[in-house]
Structure 1
Amino acid sequence: MPTFSIFGDIRRFARSRRMDEENITVIFGDIKLDFTRTTLDLGDHHLRIFSIFGDTRLRIPHEVGVEIDSFTLFGDVEVEDLLTGEEEQPGASYITEQYATAPVRARISVFSLFGDVEVVRVPVSADGNRTPATGATARLLGNSGERTQPERYDAEAVRRDRSSDKEFHDER
């Protein structure tokens, strides 16, 4: 399915079982696609992305063989593997070790004038849930692998603490 945007981001979880339906063009804006919540059909897929000003970030299941063919004029290409913790900046092209034997293969063609291209390979369990993170990602998320909620400012609790402090000082 062709997608076109001028002055706007494209952010979505891909639900299609075929990447061949994805042709994305963005003039001013970022592209963020997550393929970890769908089960891709066996065989070859081809994703085409054209971006003038903006970053491209793709999340792809670890077991999918990935081949990247990209052109970036002012930007970097980066591939991060959350299972192994490896991070590479391969330049214009990249291919995973298991690409030839992978049951699902994704060929990603990216043309980007001003913007970075980042592909994150995410471990996904058989039931479609993300597996616990390892390495640096696990340290960022905590031992459980789940994002923890930041501590929130509780105005009522602060008022109670202040009033108990005041009562304590008044008793003296």
Structure 2
Amino acid sequence: MTLPGQDPLEDTKRATQTALERAVGEGRLTLEEFAARADTVWRADTPAEIASAVADLPAPVAPVLPATEGAVKVSISSIFDDVRRSGRFTLRSGTKVSAVFGDAKVDLRQAVISEPVVDLTVFSCFGDVVVTVPKGVRVEVDGSVVFGSERVELSAEPPLPGSPLIRLHARSIFGDVKVRDQHWTERVKGWLDRLA
């Protein structure tokens, strides 16, 4: 076992990981950007490779205030239409997404979070719940389905050190719940690559 201070490369990786955790917590990196950079750090064999993961980190724009009990919670809902949330957006703990007679689709790969643990509830009645998460981020799925099926398709890779935890509460009545860490286009590309 190597003690801190005995392996300079390992110490550099830990310090860089801390900088990445701070950056994702301040909203300077999306979850997907954090996962890719942290993966680079832990696979690196040289100090230069480690430094490349933080060389172009965006600077903080404003001081980050810690999340409080009274923080604004976001609710997005729709009746007779789908709800889709994707792209770069701030994800706060307590966010709720729901659809009645429509699908509830949430893509978290470009989400920006500033809390170490985020609770997200996604519900659909007479429609599907589809949630896409970035690889390398810790995810706990609490799902329930009435007259439908549940599929959780997450890679077997362990979560990256220091990654935030997403606690997903997925519910569907007369629809399916699908949680995955690859968008359908990536899965199709993978299948085509295997056929070639």
TM norm structure 2: 0.52
1:72 maps to 2:145: yes
User: d(CA) in 1 for partners of 2:84 and 2:142?
Assistant: 22
Q: Measure how far apart 1:102 and its partner are.
A: 5.0
Aligned to 1:155: none
Which whole-Å deviations, capped at 9, do the CAs of 1:83-126 have from their partners, x for residues lacking one?
x5x7xxxxxxxxx9649x65211001122111111111139xxx
Which among 6, 18, 32 is matched to residue 105 of structure 2?
32
Q: Once superposed, what is the RMSD of the aligned Cα atoms?
A: 2.8
**What are the Cα deviations for residues 110-163 of structure 1, in whole angstroms up to 9, with x where unaligned?**
22111111111139xxxxxxxxx5x875133x48xxxxxxxxxxxxxxxxxxxx
Instruction: State the percentage of identical aligned residues.
Output: 29
CA distance in 1, matches of 2:111, 2:97: 18
- Which is strand-richer, 1 or 2? 1
Which is greater in Rg? 1
Structure 1 contact 6–28 (Cα < 8 Å) conserved: yes
Q: Which residue of 1 aligns with 2:172?
A: 112
Q: Provide the aligned length of Structure 1 versus Structure 2.
A: 119
Asked whether the 8 Å contact 1:80–1:119 carries over to 2, the reply is: yes
**Which residue in the other structure is 2:120 paired with?**
47
Of structures 1 and 2, the one with the larger relative CO (CA 8 A, separation 6+) is: 1
Structure 2 equivalent of residue 139 of structure 1: 191
Residue ranges of structure 1 left out of the alignment (5+ in a row): 87-95, 124-132, 144-172
* C-alpha contact 1:79 1:121 (8 A) present in aligned 2: no
Q: Which one has the bigger helix percentage?
A: 2
